[in-house]
Amino acid sequence: MSRQHDPPPSFTVDPQTPSRRVRHQSSLEHVFNFTLASPKPTREQSTDAYALYNEILNDCEEAGLFLPSGDDADGGEKVYLHNLFRALVCFCPTHPGRINIVRMILHGLFCADKVSIEERSLGSILPLARTWRTATEHERQPIYRILETVAADFLLGFFVPLCAQASATLHVSGILSPPTAAATISPSQGTPHRLQGLQRTCLLRDGNRCVVTGHLDKEVFNRLQRRGQTIPGTFGVQTQAAHIIPHSLNSVRAGDALTRGKTFVWQILNMFDSGISTELEGPLIDSPANAFILATELHDEFGRLRCYFEEVVPGSYEFRKTRFATTLSPAADAKASRLTFVNHEPEETRWADLPSSRLLKLHAACCKMVEMAGAADYVDWAVGDLKRMEEGGTLAADGTSDVGMLLLTRGLAGWGGCVDGAWSDVGA
């Protein structure tokens, strides 16, 4: 959709003291079973949809509706509904994705049982959604309850699995010598070998350094020291190949079906940026374009959506932390305000792609959404519960467990995800 037909909304965030909260009801998986095979909205329809969406969120703000973080008494930051749904639209990385989010929410709130999947156009949705403007406070209560359910499902079905799976990547130790290109990442290799090959490739491409701090991989640093070589201004740190989109979200073996929870995450990613899944299908999830070398301290922060790379000009980035970022050692400080990814492979054998700007933009968008929504405590609470399940032997250490179903069995939410839709069909 062109910029002309998709005017970006203007939102402000001003959290307030809650006056009440609505109760959670059963999951609305039909809301998220969302295909976008509908007529392109007109400029007038898009403008009206954004205005109505903003009006509903303004009313949510006035009502002080929120989701608590874990137990009400745990002191965590509350997730205000207006902040969450504004964040989804404000930071969606594509213009078509923004109107798709608005259309999805309006359909779920007002006409999920009245407008068929095949007819989910704004032309069909808006006449029913406009009834909000004349609804009484009593008539709005069921809509508030639906909105709270959708918010909980978005957090528990998308952001929590995204963070939990990011920290479930199998650990692979550093390397000391570069492999050949043909032997680095092969679709026929098992997961441990593929990850080991990715670690080798990224270390070689990134100059054996953390791309943020500039410090050398510890094994490489120690080897140089044994040879009597020193590099001023750097020292050795433990490093890992950090996936931009988590390795554990995909199946890397031909014919393997994605679990229910993972399918839902891919649906939302595809809604944010249509067709993004095609870049990461199967073994492509472990391609150099989806990874780079980070100090271990930063690896978890990146995976938990607490830091990101903001592209300021094509090919040049600023490394930024959210307000929820953990205080780390000085060794985790960025080496410069501007970072550029460079391929350090020998020119004659250079083959690895640089980290994808498209994937980095998508990751940055998710970080900003969590920050603006004030959802870090909520996500951490749920991820922590999953970690305790892992320690108790319920959650597979390699990230293959279905996070959505685990959340369901633990009673964290009535999250159902999308069962019938195909994630490759979600997009505009």
Q: Which DSSP string corresponds to 83-126?
A: HHHHHHHHS-SSHHHHHHHHHHHHHHHHTTTTS-GGG--HHHHH
Q: What is the largest CA-CA distance in the chain?
A: 78
Average pLDDT, whole number, for the chain?
Answer: 78
- Identify the band that residue 145 occupies on the pLDDT scale cut at 50, 70 and 90: very high
Is the pLDDT assigned to residue 136 strictly greater than 90? yes
Q: What is the per-residue pLDDT across 25-35, written as a single tens digit (0 to 9) for each?
A: 334 444 454 44
Give the bridge partners for 170, in sequence order.
none
- What was the pLDDT predicted at 411? 39
* Residue with more model confidence, 107 or 190: 107
- Mean pLDDT over 34-43 rounds to 70
Which of 12, 16, 23 is CA-nearest to residue 144? 23
Q: Which of 25-29, 198-202, 394-398 has the highest mean pLDDT?
A: 198-202
- What was the pLDDT predicted at 69? 64
* Residue with more model confidence, 70 or 425: 70
Is the pLDDT assigned to residue 19 strictly greater than 80? no
Is the pLDDT assigned to residue 76 strictly greater than 90? no
- Mean pLDDT over 188-212 rounds to 84
Question: In 3-state terms, what secondary structure has residue 238?
Answer: coil
- What was the pLDDT predicted at 128? 94
Q: What is the per-residue pLDDT across 201-245, written as a single tens digit (0 to 9) for each?
A: 999 999 999 999 999 999 999 999 899 887 888 889 999 999 999
